[in-house]
Structure 1
Amino acid sequence: MPTLDEARAIIAGALAEARRRGAKPLAVIVLDAGGHPVAFEREDGASLFRHDIARAKAFGALGMGSDTRAIAERAAGNPAFFTSVVVASGGNLALSAGGVIVRDLAGAIVGAVGISGDTSDVDEACAIAGIDAAGLNHGANS
């Protein structure tokens, strides 16, 4: 699992990238491979549901074993199935980019990052930047 120090580095790197991009205020969560929160930060001004959306992105990525960008693309071709997955998971899957698998240097899944607050493309780019800043690997096929 990402250590607390690694999770904090992911968040710091993600928020640094967000500020570099002039992004809207973000919520960033890092989950371990079992879906348990390791660390979370919400920037001033991030709206009420951002934590829940960020968590659903990270949890959904873990549950489906894939970054949420790829899940959303698959869902576009099979909406009935993915609607049922969202219902079956109690809403713990957000069908937009910004949930990114975290892998250790050997390639094993150790957790996921979920970000919400800006466009899904910006959320995802910030998640990847955060994982890179922590010296870990990202993505479903890293």
Structure 2
Amino acid sequence: MQLSSATHMLSAARAEAERLGVVVCVSIVDAAAYPVAFLRMDGLALGCIDVCNKKAKTAALFHMDSADFALVACPGGGAYSLEQTNGGLTSFGGGLTIRDGSGGVIGGIGVSGASTEDDIAIARVALAAFS
């Protein structure tokens, strides 16, 4: 994950959040879940910072969107309590896997601060800016 690509994604995410009239933070990590870029809009509830980081980390480390991760990490799921691993993950929407042109995972993006639906929508716009 290149910094230039990540900052382009942050710009797209911010523009979409502003269009929706919401305040969010956005975390972009590489394939090993190390930080590449981060954005925190003014007025954000500070607890959202940890949430967006965990959404990005979940997507990168498990090669699936955090909403899909919820299906296996929930009570009755095949890997209940999996979110307690890797220093903490999250199992709700807003984290998307970032893939290169050949489909390989190169990172994750996490968005937090708005509704889950808006977080996902903002992350998708940012991801489209990468593609």
How many residue pairs are counted as aligned between the two chains? 131
Q: In the TM superposition, what is the alpha-carbon distance from 1:20 to its structure 2 partner?
A: 1.2
What's the secondary structure of 2:42's corresponding residue?
coil
* Alignment of 1:98 onto 2:94: yes
Identity %: 32
Distance 1:62 1:78 in 2: 24
Correspondence for 1:6: 5
Q: Pick one of 115, 118, 123 that aligns with 1:127.
A: 123
What's the secondary structure of 2:16's corresponding residue?
helix
Q: In the TM superposition, what is the alpha-carbon distance from 1:104 to its structure 2 partner?
A: 1.2
Q: Which runs of 5+ in 1 are unaligned?
A: 137-142
Distance 2:80 2:60 in 1: 15
Q: In the TM superposition, what is the alpha-carbon distance from 1:113 to its structure 2 partner?
A: 0.1
Correspondence for 2:63: 65
Q: Which runs of 5+ in 2 are unaligned?
A: none
- The code of the aligned residue for 2:64 comes to S
Correspondence for 2:37: 39
Q: Pick one of 116, 128, 138 that aligns with 2:112.
A: 116
Correspondence for 1:140: none
Pair 120,94 (structure 1): closer, same or farther in 2 beyond 3 Å: same
Distance 1:120 1:104 in 2: 25
- The code of the aligned residue for 1:70 comes to D
Distance 1:16 1:6 in 2: 16
Distance 1:48 1:80 in 2: 32
- The code of the aligned residue for 1:15 comes to R
Correspondence for 2:17: 18
Distance 1:4 1:66 in 2: 22
